[in-house]
């Protein structure tokens, strides 16, 4: 069984940057796809970015393209999300997730396709 632990959230002003981390523990070999999601109060969980842990490209939601970068360090079994040019609408609880599935297309940021979730880390962006 795999566990995910996020860190790196916080409060920043608009235009600032944050870097989120997600450390994977346990049986990490099953995580072929990993992603970042976010959920604001009263809203559905939204896919932000996806990466194949074995390499092969990334996928971003339109709302974060050009501002966020997802990476995965195989040696450390850690997923990252570099967030630049943050906007107040980026305020949410951010979660990392993993699945054994090799996702394609928009499934890559579909929360229903993921099996394992972290506990979340809060990101607040003030104007």
Sign of CA dihedral 20, 50, 109, 34: negative
- Measure the CA–CA gap between 87 and 103, rounded to whole angstroms: 28
Read off the pLDDT of residues 81-120 as tens digits, 9 standing for 90 and up: 999 999 999 999 999 999 998 899 999 999 999 999 999 9
pLDDT tens digit string along 15-53?
Answer: 999 999 999 998 777 778 999 999 999 999 999 999 999
Q: What is the CA radius of gyration of the chain?
A: 13
Compute the distance between CA of residue 23 and CA of residue 58 in angstroms, rounded to an integer: 19
So what's the pLDDT on residue 28?
Answer: 74
Query: What local confidence, expressed as pLDDT, does residue 109 receive?
Result: 93
What pLDDT, on a 0 to 100 scale, did the predictor assign at position 54?
86
Contact 44, 53 (CB under 8 A): no
């Amino acid at each position: 069984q795999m566990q995910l632990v996020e860190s790196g959230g916080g409060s920043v002003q608009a235009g600032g940057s944050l870097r989120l981390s997600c450390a994977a523990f346990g049986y990490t070999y099953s995580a072929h796809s990993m992603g970042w999601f976010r959920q604001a109060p009263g809203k559905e969980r939204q896919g932000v970015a996806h990466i194949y842990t074995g390499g092969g490209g990334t996928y971003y939601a339109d709302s974060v393209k050009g501002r966020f970068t997802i990476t995965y360090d195989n040696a450390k079994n850690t997923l990252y999300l570099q967030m630049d040019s943050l906007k107040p609408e980026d305020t949410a609880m951010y979660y990392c997730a993993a699945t054994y599935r090799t996702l394609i297309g928009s499934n890559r940021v579909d929360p229903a396709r993921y099996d394992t979730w972290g506990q979340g880390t809060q990101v607040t962006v003030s104007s």
